[in-house]
A = this chain, B = another copy of it.
Amino acid sequence: MRVSELVATSGVPLATVKYYLREGLLMPGKPTSATQSTYGDEHVERLALIKALAGAGLSIDRIGTVLRLIEHPKASLFETLGRAIAELPPYDVDVPDYPRAKAALEKLGQVYDPRFVAVAQLERALRAAEEVGIAMTDERLEVYGRHIRGIADYDLSLMPDSVEAAVEYAVIGTAVYEPVITALRRLAHHDIASALERPEQ
């Protein structure tokens, strides 16, 4: 397809497509003349991926890092996934130590790598809960841990086999489904609270 069709199909404006081409985020099309190139499905898919990552709050630099990890994964899938997920927000997480996260993860019996930003993220969130008087308890950790494990098991059961596709699935699945999960929890609260208020029904 011509670039005008790529713009129409992807919904990404021409100036943005050109910018992604210049930045190397979008692979070049196949030249058909000195000034024109032709594009394929892989360009449409790449633009959807860039759009999703940008929508999840990633800067152009971070999107580039994720795309390079998809194109050139590290030897270990585990490491590649960890690095790619670390490019997703939140970033302003800086904790000198992570005693609460460590205790929680050990109670859950999980393997973890403290360099993985989600550990610091968990530490900060657990500290905030403590400060406002709703500290994590063993019971809440057991309930949350069990249900989140159920969700994560399902997520991983659908992970594609190829490393490239797996990294893409993991990054996009994390970025795109976190707001689904938080919205569903708010709506479940709402539904349960409404039933509490109308016990006669």
Contact = CB atoms under 8 A, between A and B. Distances in A.
A119 B187 contact: yes
Contacts of A129: 176-177, 180
A185 to B, nearest CB: 5
Interface string A159-183: 0000000000110111011111111
B148 A154 contact: no
Given A156-B196, A195-B111, A132 B48 contact: yes
A194 interface: yes
Interface in A70-129: 76-78, 81-82, 85, 90, 105, 110-113, 116, 118-119, 121-122, 124-126, 128-129
A182 B176 contact: no
A140 B132 CA distance: 33
Contacts of A186: 85, 116, 118, 121, 174
A19 interface: no
Give the interface centre of A78, A152, A193 by most chain B CB atoms within 10 Å: A193
A168 B171 CA distance: 34
Contacts of A48: 131-133
Can you tell how many copies of this chain the complex includes? Answer: 2
Interface residues of A, number: 75
A82 B125 CA distance: 23
Interface of A: 45, 48-49, 51-52, 55, 76-78, 81-82, 85, 90, 105, 110-113, 116, 118-119, 121-122, 124-126, 128-129, 131-134, 136, 140, 143-156, 169-170, 172-174, 176-197
Given A125-B180, A148-B181, 14 more contacts: A48-B133, A78-B194, A81-B189, A105-B187, A110-B187, A112-B187, A112-B191, A113-B190, A118-B183, A125-B177, A125-B179, A134-B176, A144-B177, A148-B184
